[in-house]
Structure 1
Amino acid sequence: MHKPRARDLGLPFPGQTGPFNAITDVAGVTVGFATLTDPSRDMRTGVTAIRPRNDVGVPVPVWAGHYALNGNGEMTGTHWIDDAGYMIGPVCITNTHGVGAVHHGVTRWMIEHYAEFFRQDHGWAMPVVAETYDGVLNDINALHVTPDDAIAALLTAKSGHVGEGSCGGGNGMIAYQFKAGTGTSSRVFEIGGRRYTMGCLVQANHGRRSDFQVLGTPVGQLMPEGVFERGLPQREMGSIIVVLITDAPLSGLSLRQVAKRAALGIGRGGTPGGNSSGDIFLALSVANPGPMPQRAAAVLTKTEINGELIDPLYLAAVQAVEEAVVNAIVAGEDVATFKPAGQIVPGIDTKRLAALF
Structure 2
Amino acid sequence: MKIAVLPGDGIGSEIVAEAVKVLKALDLSFEMEEAPVGGAAYEVSGHPLPDSTLNLAKAADAILFGAVGDWKYDTLDRPLRPEQAILGLRKHLGLFANFRPAICYEQLTHASSLKPELVAGLDILIIRELTGDIYFGQPRGRRVATDGHFPGAEEAFDTMRYSRPEIERIAHVAFQAARLRDKRVTSVDKANVLETFQLWKDVVTEVGQHYPDVALDHMYVDNAAMQLVRAPKRFDVIVTGNMFGDILSDEASMLTGSIGMLPSASLNAQNKGLYEPSHGSAPDIAGKGIANPLATILSAAMMLRFSLGQAAAADRIEQAVKTVLAQGFRTVDIAEAGAKTVGTAAMGDAVVAALTAQG
Q: TM-score, normalised by structure 2?
A: 0.25
- Higher helix content, 1 or 2: 2
- When Rg is computed on C-alpha atoms for both structures, the one with the higher figure is 2
Name the one with the larger strand percent.
1
